Amino acid sequence: MLRSTISTWREYLTPISHKSTFLSTGQITPDEFVQAGNYLVSMFPTWSWNGDISPDNISARDFLPPDKQFLVSRKVPCLIRAQDFFNVDYNDELDEEEDTPNETSADAPANSTNTNSQDNNSIQDIDEMLQSMDVEDVEDNDDEVITTHNTADQTKRYYDLYIAYSTSYRVPKMYLVGFNAHGTPLTAEEMLEDIALDYRRKTATIEKLPFLKTPVLSVSIHPCKHANVMKILLEKIRSVNERKRMESKPDEEVDNDQTTDANTDGDNDWQDLQEDVNDNLRVDQYLIVFLKFITSVTPSIQHDYTMEGW
């Protein structure tokens, strides 16, 4: 709890920055957090601002609008424990999808002083992550997971997911509050069972939700590496977009229809995110990428349930 207390004080003492640097640093400002939250809510109705929580129960921060203090998605399914997720014999695509992000986070540097070799390893892992995160594959695999794991009530859990803004790291911060199948809150030890082992040891923190006045126990994902991972992801998406744009130019001169087919076939590059982008990801799409990264931290929590239709 000492770590949680220090973190809380740091959040309130760190000055707010309004300078946009998300493409170069992976960090976002409070205004950009609101933009990204608005986009998330508009695209995926399972997410909402402040949920149904009474304003009287919210410890509001004045640099955010009163009605947009944090994002909530409730009752997200979790059918098995994190360590069991990797022991199940799914198809090869699912294995690649969930194994690769864990390698990415383990290699991702925590700050700008890390070595170039660490950056290169992270970039290679993220390259694999992008290839494995094809939307259609994820949706198909989710159906298979649900079919394969029609588990008993004792293993079924649900999570309320909260995304708040971290002033000390200038990135979103994820909080998880778990319940069993009967709606009873999970203990801290039980919630940690749904965190991937690498993160459980290094970045998972037990703390009360800092933005609520009523004490609610949660597991938070410490955001110390978020900016670096997001920076690498954003740079990778930019380079992929630029390459695709350059490759499409000769095709456009021949046949626009053929170009469309060529861009569609064989690309696992988050097509839905890139339809409206030339070279750079828009800042309002930041949380979409962030949530895809969080799936590596909590692989058995069905985050795609919160993004149905993506």
Q: Tell me the catalytic residues.
A: 224
CB atoms within 10 A of CB 222: 18
